[in-house]
Amino acid sequence: MWITLFFLPKTILVVLGAFFFFRFFDIIKPFPARKFDTMLGGFGIMMDDVVSGIYANITMQIVSAHTILQMDFS
């Protein structure tokens, strides 16, 4: 989750969205998370979560940028 929230605003909506996306990517395990998950030992388990966090962070960065661009400042 720390990786997911890196460089994101710490608001309730962002944290909830980040948690949702982190769990989503942790469950579906996109490449290369699935490859790490099949490794033996704790390193593979940890790297699986790191990859999920990176994917969730990228997704939240896109969602945050899109939301900011759609704001009406008039």
Given a cut of 90, whether residue 45 has pLDDT beyond it is no
Higher confidence at residue 23 or residue 1? 23
Give percent helix, percent strand, percent coil of the chain, each to the nearest 5: 75, 0, 25
φ and ψ at residue 9, rounded to 5 degrees: -65, 140
Helix axes 12-28, 42-70, angle to 10 degrees: 140
pTM: 0.83
Structure tokens at 33: 């998370």
Q: What is the mean pLDDT of residues 2-11?
A: 91
- Residue 11 · residue 63 · CB < 8 Å: no
